[in-house]
């Protein structure tokens, strides 16, 4: 029994317990959960084992996923019917389940979040695998575009990138402001600040939409509907700045 306890404890600590087998090389039998509970007595090790089982179960179920909040969240989400944007019931983080980007990015599409363009030759490629965005692109290794066109493209990218970065930073400010108001709200003799917290939440959401609107506008500049989109984006930006 001590040998089994040491063996299983080591496997659990190394995150190798789920598929571990009998230590005898010829034997492929796997220890059952009941057997592990009867051998391992440490509550800390058992807790690690149960976390490993849960992690394995979530990874095996295509219908389940973890919350993608970069700040950390252990909530398990059901992907069915959630699609483009799903709010976590625990931390309220909104995830996108149609691509690997960590948060919902409306109005930018999933393809926008992985489509990059060379500022010199205008070659489109996927930032994940670096393969050409269009299979029939024939100038993959030939950056011979005119300098003026490349400079214009680079300047345009920089403008949209700066706007996008600004809105993300302003969104972080809204989050910081909401946290500050929440701490003030806990102080005695302070009047109800619910309206201010609600305003910060709206401000945070508006900055998020404006940031991803920059991505959307960058990739859809030549489409017929962009005039309306730009007008609505400008209007939202003015109202957001006022808020």
Contact at 8 Å (CB) between 113 and 99?
yes
- pLDDT digits over 6-22, tens only? 888 888 888 887 888 88
Q: Which residues contact 195 (CB under 8 A, 6 or more apart)?
A: none
For residue 137, the model assigns a pLDDT of 41
- pLDDT digits over 168-222, tens only? 999 999 999 998 888 887 776 666 788 888 999 999 999 999 999 888 888 887 6
Token pair 């973890």: residue: 66
For residue 174, the model assigns a pLDDT of 92
Spatial separation of the C-alpha atoms in residues 21 and 60, rounded to whole Å: 19
Spatial separation of the C-alpha atoms in residues 211 and 12, rounded to whole Å: 43
Per-residue pLDDT, averaged over 221-236, amounts to: 79
- pLDDT digits over 43-64, tens only? 898 998 888 888 888 888 877 8
> How many CB atoms are closer than 10 A to CB 165?
12
pTM of the prediction? 0.54
Per-chain mean pLDDT for the chain: 78
Q: Which residues contact 143 (CB under 8 A, 6 or more apart)?
A: 118, 120, 121, 123
Question: What residues pair up with 134 in beta bridges, in sequence order?
Answer: none
Spatial separation of the C-alpha atoms in residues 219 and 214, rounded to whole Å: 9
Q: Which residues contact 193 (CB under 8 A, 6 or more apart)?
A: 181, 184, 185
């Amino acid at each position: 029994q001590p040998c089994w306890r040491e063996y299983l404890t080591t496997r659990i600590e190394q995150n190798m317990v789920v598929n571990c087998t009998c230590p005898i090389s010829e034997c492929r039998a796997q220890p059952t959960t009941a057997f592990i509970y009867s051998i391992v007595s440490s509550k800390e090790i058992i807790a690690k084992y149960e976390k490993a089982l849960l992690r394995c179960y979530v990874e095996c179920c295509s219908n389940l996923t973890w919350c993608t909040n970069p700040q950390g969240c252990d909530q398990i989400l059901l992907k069915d019917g959630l699609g483009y944007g799903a709010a976590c019931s625990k931390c309220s983080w909104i995830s996108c389940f149609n691509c690997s980007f960590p948060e919902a990015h409306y109005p930018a599409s999933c393809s926008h979040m992985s489509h990059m363009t060379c500022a010199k030759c205008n070659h489109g490629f996927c930032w994940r695998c670096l393969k050409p965005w269009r299979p029939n692109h024939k100038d993959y290794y030939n950056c011979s575009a005119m300098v003026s066109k490349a400079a214009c493209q680079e300047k345009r990218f920089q403008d949209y990138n700066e706007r996008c970065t600004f809105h993300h930073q302003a969104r972080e400010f809204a989050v910081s402001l909401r946290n500050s108001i929440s701490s003030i709200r806990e102080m005695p003799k302070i009047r109800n600040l619910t309206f201010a917290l609600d305003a910060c939440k709206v401000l945070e959401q508006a900055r998020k939409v404006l940031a991803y609107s920059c991505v959307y506008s960058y990739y859809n500049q030549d489409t017929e509907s962009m005039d309306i989109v730009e007008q609505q984006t400008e209007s939202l930006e003015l109202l957001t700045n006022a808020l």
